[in-house]
Amino acid sequence: MFEVAGLEGERVGLSAARIEQLGARLAGPLLTVGDEGWDEAVEVWNAMVTARPALVVQPVSARDVAMVVRFAADHGVLLSVKGGGHNIAGTALADGGLTLDMSRMREVAVDPSARLAHAGPGCLLRDVDRATQQQGLATVLGFVSETGVAGLTLGGGFGYLTRRFGWAADNLQEVEVVTADGTIRTASRTENPDLFWALRGGGGNLGVVTRFTFRLHEVGPLITGGLAAWSADRADEVLKTYQELTASAPRELTAAVMIRLAPPAPFVPDEWHLKPVAGLLVCHSGSAAEAEADLAPLRALGEPIFDLIGEKPYVAQQSMFDEMEPKGLNQYWKTEFLPGLPDEYLPTFRDAALDVASPLSFSVVFHIAGGLNESDDGGAVGNREARFISGFSGVWPPHADGGRIVDAVRRGWESIRPFSTGGNYVNFQLAEDDADRTAAAYRASYDGLRRVKERYDPDNRFRVNRNISPRKGS
């Protein structure tokens, strides 16, 4: 008898014959501990996540997914879905249960005439970016190319193109999804519109998406972007420039300000390795001439420690932080949405960021105002009044003591909360965050999400996520 986790934490016994029968019906592999590919299948980005499933299925079709969803429901087995495994809370893995690892479904098909991209649920951002950029097109995704498309999009999704085109979820045209009853459905603005609304922001609460169809926009293949940094002694000057830059920035310009210890990277002069710096990260998707004019305030700062800002492929911009965000490090984040950057916020953020600074940790303010504030058909993503997202990312190696870093992150987070909208980004929540914080990630959309959850998943079978309980559970 094979024991797995049930929905309420109980143990469920499955005979070897039942597991073999499931495996025989699937086109994709079913893995148990010790099988070839197991370690990769259960690896996730955040090393703080210790959950491990008992079974993993790597589906290759919606039919495979539907069979696994029905199997889990019939036997009361705890189920989770792993797209890219990049979620900081570790929601990809059902501890002791059954995990759907979507990594074998990574196809991307681009229709340049219709300006649509059809992407599988196992795609990473780089898969979609590379395929669409061959046509000079892009959709809104994040800014680390190893991130999974599915988790990012279903939680909202923001990145360098958000100011122009809204959340990633705003750019969804259609999805194919397997709901809790094992039915394969299509959801769009005209077909199952309530489900489509909820999927655009509701995370993994409504089903397993097996195909995403994104709207594409003309972007690149060359943009102006990169990172420049100055001594943290000039942090006040850098932050003030950022405040002024974002106040007048066109939609084509997205900028973030970052305070951290300079990494020991080849582009950083040796004498600045692990010294505190304040950096400006930019991506300008307009013309080179427009970028030069719009970035004039940044250039006026003068005398950077390093300046990597220039014309480059959009795909290079999308992957520039990959090496600084590898798998296998401990990650502890706290973030808030902000309605603006008042003068009092700047020194508060500066002091907290310098407190958080460690060889791998960083603190950031990211400008997101624009398209996401204006959409009237963008789904369930909450907090559309947000204009910035800010927070603190504590990062340290496995087996090292991260207590000081965690304490500093929490202090920094508490110091900026008075400036918050009251909301936060669901994709940046930790496993420790409670139901009230999840509700604050949706705010006005939360009750509607619970109603749709009640219709499509009344028994809360999709619960290994930032969970939204069906209304009957209240």
**CATH number for 210:** 3.30.465.10
Determine, yes or no, domain membership for 155: yes
Q: How would you list the strands of the sheet with 208-215, edge to edge?
A: 108-111, 116-119, 208-215, 172-178, 184-188
Whether 410 and 443 share a structural domain: no
> Which CATH number characterizes residue 25's domain?
3.30.43.10
**Spatial distance between the Cα atoms of 451 and 37, rounded to a whole number of angstroms:** 39
> Which CATH number characterizes residue 261's domain?
3.40.462.20
Determine, yes or no, domain membership for 204: yes
DSSP string, 78-138: -EEEESSS--TT-TT--TTSEEEEGGG---EEEETTTTEEEE-TT-BHHHHHHHHHTTTEE
Helix (H) or strand (E) holding 364: strand 362-367
Whether 191 and 268 share a structural domain: no
Of 104, 122, 144, which closes a domain?
104
Number of structural domains the chain divides into: 3
**Spatial distance between the Cα atoms of 423 and 421, rounded to a whole number of angstroms:** 5
Of 104, 137, 152, which closes a domain?
104
Task: Work out whether strand 172-178 and strand 184-188 pair parallel, antiparallel, or are unpaired.
Answer: antiparallel
Q: Please return the burial class of 76, using the count of CB atoms within 10 Å of its CB with bins 0-12, 13-18 and 19+.
A: middle
Q: Which domain does 136 fall in, by range?
A: 108-218+439-457
Of 104, 126, 153, which closes a domain?
104
Determine, yes or no, domain membership for 471: no
Whether 230 and 359 share a structural domain: yes
The residue whose two tokens read 């950083």 is 268
- Other Cβ atoms within 10 Å of 166 Cβ, number: 26
Written as six digits, the tokens of 447 are 């009750």
Determine, yes or no, domain membership for 462: no
Determine, yes or no, domain membership for 278: yes
Whether 132 and 28 share a structural domain: no
Give the chain's radius of gyration (CA, Å): 22
Whether 254 and 370 share a structural domain: yes
Whether 193 and 57 share a structural domain: no
Whether 210 and 302 share a structural domain: no
- Residue 120 contacts residue 176 (beta carbons within 8 Å): no
- Residue 236 contacts residue 417 (beta carbons within 8 Å): no
Of 60, 125, 107, which Cα lies nearest the Cα of 317?
125
Determine, yes or no, domain membership for 18: yes
Whether 298 and 348 share a structural domain: yes
Whether 90 and 117 share a structural domain: no
CA angle 93, 39, 122 (to 5 degrees): 55
Task: Please list the pLDDT of the chain residue by residue as tens digits (474 residues).
Answer: 889 999 998 999 999 999 999 999 999 999 999 999 999 999 999 999 999 999 999 999 999 999 999 999 999 999 999 999 999 999 999 999 999 999 999 999 999 999 999 999 999 999 999 999 999 999 999 999 999 999 999 999 999 999 999 999 999 999 999 999 999 999 999 999 999 999 999 999 999 999 999 999 999 999 999 999 999 999 999 999 999 999 999 999 999 999 999 999 999 999 999 999 999 999 999 999 999 999 999 999 999 999 999 999 999 999 988 877 788 999 999 999 999 999 999 999 999 999 999 999 999 999 999 999 987 777 999 899 999 999 999 999 999 999 999 999 999 999 999 999 999 999 999 999 999 999 999 998 999 999 999 999 999 999 999 999 998 744
Determine, yes or no, domain membership for 474: no
- Residue 367 contacts residue 379 (beta carbons within 8 Å): no
pTM listed for this prediction:
0.95
Whether 405 and 297 share a structural domain: yes
Whether 124 and 271 share a structural domain: no
Residue type, 429: Q
Task: Report helix, strand or coil for 154.
Answer: helix
Whether 239 and 384 share a structural domain: yes
Determine, yes or no, domain membership for 81: yes
